[in-house]
Amino acid sequence: MKRCPQCLFLFPDSDSKCDFDQTPLEHVDDSAIDGATRKPKRRTLPIAAAIGLMLSVLVFAIYYGLTRQPQKASAATETPVTTVEPVAAPSATPSPSVEVSPSPSPSVAPSPRSSPEKVSTAHTRSTSDPVSTSGPGIGNRQGGKPVIMLTSGGKIEADEVWRTKDGVWYRRNGMVTLLKRAQVKTIVTR
């Protein structure tokens, strides 16, 4: 094989000049060609990876050691502080009464948590105030079960019924529901 001394390109033995720069070719032995064409062994990659791993472990150990020392020093210098909170004597607060006060219809009492500028209706406002669903509502006064006759022709048997400005409320099996006034034709008692 022959090689160009300028561009180091390899040519067959039959050629005498380089095709690229017209330089006369030199004859090269096979060992030089094998050395030029053989890939070098990749031993540098594992060595570089091992060095990088060692450096990262060393940096982590230094960082951990530096951040851990101030915590140990501050823990050793701090004295434990025990605080004792005074226990207040039980105050005489009135307990809720057990008496049941029947109300003819549920009413919304202003709670201390509600703001005066916020206007809402009874069926859209949540409150923790007690609401009585027992008492002299329709059905309890007359002794029978009330039946709500709807304008659509349907009937609703209820345990108790009462009217408010929002509509007609009824309780059935512990569930309280509001009907609009336009939905109710009449209320009868059986």
DSSP 55-111: HHHHHHHHHHHHHHHHHHHHHHHPPP----PPPPPPP-PPPPP------SS---PPP
Per-residue pLDDT of the chain (190 residues; tens, 9 = 90+): 888 888 888 888 898 898 888 889 888 887 777 766 676 667 788 899 999 999 999 999 999 988 887 665 556 566 555 555 655 555 555 555 556 556 565 555 555 555 555 555 555 554 444 445 554 445 445 568 899 999 999 999 999 999 998 899 999 999 999 999 999 999 998 7
DSSP letter at 181 equals G
- For the question of whether the overall pTM of this predicted structure is more than 0.75, the answer is no
The CA distance from 69 to 121, in Å, is 63
Q: Which two tokens stand for residue 22?
A: 């017209």
* pLDDT value of residue 84: 59
CA 22 to chain centre: 75
* pLDDT value of residue 153: 92
* pLDDT value of residue 28: 85
- CATH class for the region spanning 146-189: mainly beta
Whose tokens are 């005498």? That residue is: 16
Handedness of CA 46, 47, 50, 51 (dihedral sign): negative
Closest-CA residue to 150 (of 165, 136, 161): 161
All structural domains of the chain with their residue ranges = 2-37, 146-189
Provide the residue type at 9 as one letter: F
CB 11 within 8 A of CB 23: no
